[in-house]
Chain A
Amino acid sequence: MSDVSVERSAMFEYAPAPESRAIVDIKPSYGLFINGEFVDPAESGGFKSINPATEETLAEIAAGTSADVDIAVAAARRAYDKVWGPMPGSERAKYLYRIARIIAERSRELAVLESIDNGKPIKETRDVDLPLVSAHFFYHAGWADKLDHAGYGDSPRPLGVAGQVIPWNFPLLMLAWKVAPALACGNTVVLKPAETTPLTALAFAEICQQAELPPGVVNIVTGAGDTGASVVSHPGVDKVAFTGSTAVGRQIARAVAGTGKKLTLELGGKAANIVFADAAIDQAVEGIVNGIFFNQGHVCCAGSRLLVQESIADEVLERLKRRMTTLRLGDPLDKNTDIGAINSAEQLSRIRELTAAGDAEGAQPWSPDCQIPDSGFWFAPTIFTGVQQAHRIAREEIFGPVLSILTFRTPDEAIAKANNTPYGLSAGVWTEKGSRILWAAQQLKAGVVWANTFNKFDATSPFGGLKESGYGREGGRHGLEAYLDV
């Protein structure tokens, strides 16, 4: 052997390391998944799902109308009455275990598909979304024959047909959070995935076929807001579950009021991530980064307000900036990408509108140098300093990679500022002092409080909000209540 022919770069520049997309097979068009098969919608003319990183069209998606929802709800009702409702829990569990295993086996394919349709980096779909999705099915499969012991009395009854509407930020994971507990408890479902990210839900429909799930137990009706409204307002639906914006959550609550439908809502957030002076600073910086830049900040529980104690604010800010210079923005399928594409043009314009407001109100933005690709929807990771409680960027949910930094002097002030929001989904506390963690967790008005970590999810742990972040819990024993007649 003589010369090494491989070209060497002058410094340590990571070469492209793209995950192959050959593993996914996207069809040119998709119908609705009703009663175990893909069917054409009542009215032709659908919409396109695009790759937000390239704006390439991925597939034509059917737009379900109220007529389609009628058929889907009827199929779900039949399945509930004849098959799924009467089926012993131990039998339902077998189907759920089977689904969980198929998801785990097909996880690479599903991860790639999710990255293509959503824009989130492959390292997140591969290491976070998909492991959580299969774990969620495994966990709830375990409950299916043990509901007597869940603390809701002997033989708790299912509710019937669940109408579920999910968002685009964690498409398959939100599906799992909705479908797994519903099925484990003996309900059947009609699910409406988000308009911009229907592909993994449609892949899940194929998995239901592969698992030989009885027809009608899971029905997936794609479409936009109107389709979702038809699902939640359908008189044949016994239970409504929604994850999305607070504005839409309000509409749903109004639509459902007085109907007797059971309702759970998981809505927006403006979480405070509180860093005390005695925190483990390097790990707190990691937690700040993970809190706001994970999934491009498209996270309802994102730590979008950093509250840092004044005495260490300069140091934390400097370290945060240095850390942000190592974030890699670009091709979601590249295994080294930390920040992927913004999910849609609409979301991008909302992020731009709010950051412009931050600018106009006198807060100071900062972003690391990073190359923005020519096509697709992108927003550089951004922090705002000099943010005041009264600024819009401190109050409104941006749902993007934008962090508002505020300071505090005393622990009481930190709590007061943290709670001074209509939302109450999550919060973070960073301190090496155990007693302070316990104290802060008691004071914070948030459904989830993370201590010395952030954005940690587990199927066994209930998740949900207070105040305008919604009601009801998903995951854990508590999450079963939403799908049982108790």
Chain B
Amino acid sequence: MTSLLASGEALARLRGLPGVDQVGLEQRAAGLATRSIKTTAKAWGIDTAISMVDLTTLEGADTPGKVRSLCVKATRPDTSDPSCPKVAAVCVYPSMVATAADQLAGTGIHLASVATAFPSGQAPMEVKVADTEAAVAAGADEIDMVINRGAFLSGRFDVVFDEIVAVKRACGEAHLKVILETGELATYDNVRTASWLAMYAGADFIKTSTGKVSPAATLPVTLLMLQAVADFRDETGRQVGVKPAGGIRTTKDAMRYLVTVNEVAGPDWLSPDWFRFGASSLLNDLLMQRQKLASGRYSGPDYVTVD
């Protein structure tokens, strides 16, 4: 794939994107956050949110045992209720992919691996490609890569673009999620530019954060990225997914994100194929709220599993 940016056309498009007004964007997000999701809508939202979770463990202390435990949880999140949906995917470091692949075989749950020297991305290009190829070879069908923020912030969009293209090639059939690390991009204008850059370069998903940098996902940033994928589809016909990651811990938060998906990108994105939550503790809160909705009472944290 030759660099689109080399032609100058995409670069001109990136430079010509309309600005983002911070106050207005945050006001819109705050407005969407006041939507009140109750009863049937909440039941639908909780199940949909569970089915969109990329259940994640990305710790230096991860062990095969911990990963196996997470995979079992992913398959049957609520041990007391078989009607509870499965999560979308399990997300682990490349060294844990083989373990997870064994455990998830036949479940229909996707296996995502972070790659490209996650979370900083500060490694030579060959290493990033090798990291990706190793994860795919071990059984990952989704790759969460990080962009080269240093190159982006210094204006070398072509470097960022070419890296994404190279990793996409290394992915083969695996889906590519491109992490923008919006907390390091700092401005909403940068988030919009990076979103379009990643989409032009072939991202299947654009993802907010590694979860290792604060702030991680926020509602305004996610709203902006949802606007970007909707606009990108209008312009190119290709639909790209969105994954906020990090900091989304409660059902209430998850409902706000679903409302934002619904009203900004539209119902076409309300499926695990097009929207994911990168989260770990969120799942248990969703399960507790799900139990509460079914039984009318809170059973407490001892009735969901700690993995």
Chain B associates with chain A: yes
**Given the interface contacts A4-B293, A286-B24, does A12 sit within 8 Å of B83 by beta carbon?**
no
Which residues of the partner chain A approach B24 to less than 8 Å between Cβ atoms? 280, 282-284, 286-287, 452-453
Binds A, one of B27-35, B94-102, B243-251: B27-35
Check A3 against B28 for contact (C-beta < 8 Å): no
Partner of B41, one of A14, A284, A452: A14
Partner of A127, one of B21, B34, B35, B258: B34
Which residues of the partner chain A approach B37 to less than 8 Å between Cβ atoms? 14-15, 17
Q: Answer yes or no: A5 CB below 8 A from chain B CBs.
A: yes
Partner of B21, one of A1, A4, A6, A283: A283
Bound Cα distance A13, B18 (Å): 32
Which residues of the partner chain A approach B18 to less than 8 Å between Cβ atoms? 278-282
Partner of A12, one of B19, B20, B45: B45
Digit string of B176-218 for contact with A (CB within 8 Å is 1, else 0)? 0000000000000000000000000000000000000000000
13 contacts between A and B (CB under 8 A): A2-B81, A4-B43, A4-B83, A7-B43, A8-B47, A11-B267, A13-B40, A15-B41, A127-B34, A280-B18, A282-B28, A432-B19, A453-B24
Bound Cα distance A335, B44 (Å): 19
Check B20 against A283 for contact (C-beta < 8 Å): yes
Which residues of the partner chain A approach B295 to less than 8 Å between Cβ atoms? 1
Q: Answer yes or no: A259 CB below 8 A from chain B CBs.
A: no
How many residues of chain B are within 8 Å of chain A by beta carbon? 38
Partner of B290, one of A4, A14, A281: A4
Q: How far is the CB of A451 from chain B (nearest CB, A)?
A: 10
Q: How far is the CB of B196 from chain A (nearest CB, A)?
A: 14
Q: Answer yes or no: B61 CB below 8 A from chain A CBs.
A: no
Q: Answer yes or no: B305 CB below 8 A from chain A CBs.
A: no
Q: Answer yes or no: B147 CB below 8 A from chain A CBs.
A: no
Which residues of the partner chain A approach B20 to less than 8 Å between Cβ atoms? 280, 282-283
Q: Answer yes or no: B6 CB below 8 A from chain A CBs.
A: no
The 7 residue pairs across chains A and B that have the minimum distance between CB atoms: A283-B24, A17-B36, A335-B36, A283-B21, A280-B21, A15-B41, A432-B19
Digit string of B265-307 for contact with A (CB within 8 Å is 1, else 0)? 0010010000000000000000000110111000000000000
| A-B interface pairs (CB < 8 A), number | 102
Which residues of the partner chain A approach B258 to less than 8 Å between Cβ atoms? 12
Bound Cα distance A281, B24 (Å): 10
Which residues of the partner chain B approach A7 to less than 8 Å between Cβ atoms? 40, 43
Known: A4-B290, A282-B25, A283-B25. 9 other contacts (CB 8 A): A1-B80, A6-B294, A7-B43, A11-B44, A13-B44, A15-B40, A280-B24, A282-B28, A286-B24
A380-424 interface with B by 8 A CB criterion: none
Check B40 against A12 for contact (C-beta < 8 Å): no
Bound Cα distance A7, B262 (Å): 20
Check B36 against A1 for contact (C-beta < 8 Å): no
Q: How far is the CB of A363 from chain B (nearest CB, A)?
A: 27
Q: How far is the CB of B286 from chain A (nearest CB, A)?
A: 13
Q: Answer yes or no: A108 CB below 8 A from chain B CBs.
A: no
Bound Cα distance A281, B267 (Å): 22
Check B291 against A1 for contact (C-beta < 8 Å): yes
Q: How far is the CB of A324 from chain B (nearest CB, A)?
A: 12
Bound Cα distance A11, B47 (Å): 11
Q: Answer yes or no: A442 CB below 8 A from chain B CBs.
A: no
Q: Answer yes or no: A326 CB below 8 A from chain B CBs.
A: yes
Q: Answer yes or no: B126 CB below 8 A from chain A CBs.
A: no
Digit string of A322-355 for contact with B (CB within 8 Å is 1, else 0)? 0000100000000110000000000000000000
Q: Answer yes or no: A375 CB below 8 A from chain B CBs.
A: no
A432-449 interface with B by 8 A CB criterion: 432
Q: Answer yes or no: B48 CB below 8 A from chain A CBs.
A: yes
Check B38 against A16 for contact (C-beta < 8 Å): yes
Bound Cα distance A432, B21 (Å): 8
Check A9 against B294 for contact (C-beta < 8 Å): no
Partner of B39, one of A15, A287, A432: A15
Which residues of the partner chain B approach A77 to less than 8 Å between Cβ atoms? none
Which residues of the partner chain B approach A5 to less than 8 Å between Cβ atoms? 294
Q: Answer yes or no: A123 CB below 8 A from chain B CBs.
A: yes
**Given the interface contacts A280-B21, A283-B28, does A336 sit within 8 Å of B43 by beta carbon?**
no
Chain A residue with Cβ nearest B270: A12
Q: How far is the CB of A384 from chain B (nearest CB, A)?
A: 24
Q: How far is the CB of A243 from chain B (nearest CB, A)?
A: 26
Partner of B227, one of A11, A278, A282: A282
Q: Answer yes or no: B263 CB below 8 A from chain A CBs.
A: yes
Which residues of the partner chain B approach A2 to less than 8 Å between Cβ atoms? 81
Q: Which of A9, A14, A326 has the most CB of B within 10 A?
A: A14
A272-297 interface with B by 8 A CB criterion: 278-284, 286-287
Bound Cα distance A188, B215 (Å): 52
**Given the interface contacts A127-B34, A326-B263, does A13 sit within 8 Å of B41 by beta carbon?**
yes
Bound Cα distance A14, B41 (Å): 5
Q: How far is the CB of B22 from chain A (nearest CB, A)?
A: 9
Which residues of the partner chain B approach A4 to less than 8 Å between Cβ atoms? 43, 81, 83-84, 290, 293-294
Bound Cα distance A401, B111 (Å): 50
Partner of B38, one of A8, A17, A287, A452: A17
Bound Cα distance A278, B41 (Å): 39
Q: Answer yes or no: B1 CB below 8 A from chain A CBs.
A: no
Chain B residue with Cβ nearest A281: B18
A1-49 interface with B by 8 A CB criterion: 1-9, 11-17
Which residues of the partner chain B approach A12 to less than 8 Å between Cβ atoms? 41, 44-45, 48, 258, 262, 267, 270
Which residues of the partner chain A approach B83 to less than 8 Å between Cβ atoms? 3-4
Which residues of the partner chain A approach B76 to less than 8 Å between Cβ atoms? none
Bound Cα distance A15, B44 (Å): 10
Q: Answer yes or no: B252 CB below 8 A from chain A CBs.
A: no
Q: Answer yes or no: B42 CB below 8 A from chain A CBs.
A: yes
Chain B residue with Cβ nearest A323: B263
Check B42 against A15 for contact (C-beta < 8 Å): yes
Q: Answer yes or no: B23 CB below 8 A from chain A CBs.
A: yes
**Given the interface contacts A12-B45, A12-B270, A280-B18, does A286 sit within 8 Å of B40 by beta carbon?**
no
Bound Cα distance A5, B296 (Å): 10
Which residues of the partner chain B approach A453 to less than 8 Å between Cβ atoms? 23-24
Which residues of the partner chain A approach B43 to less than 8 Å between Cβ atoms? 4, 6-8
Chain A residue with Cβ nearest B234: A318
Check A1 against B81 for contact (C-beta < 8 Å): yes
B46-81 interface with A by 8 A CB criterion: 47-48, 80-81
Bound Cα distance A6, B43 (Å): 7
Q: Which of B18, B258, B262 has the most CB of A within 10 A?
A: B18
Which residues of the partner chain A approach B81 to less than 8 Å between Cβ atoms? 1-4
Bound Cα distance A14, B267 (Å): 13
Which residues of the partner chain A approach B45 to less than 8 Å between Cβ atoms? 12
Bound Cα distance A16, B84 (Å): 25
Check B44 against A1 for contact (C-beta < 8 Å): no
Chain B residue with Cβ nearest A10: B44
Check A336 against B36 for contact (C-beta < 8 Å): yes
Bound Cα distance A17, B38 (Å): 6
Bound Cα distance A326, B265 (Å): 11
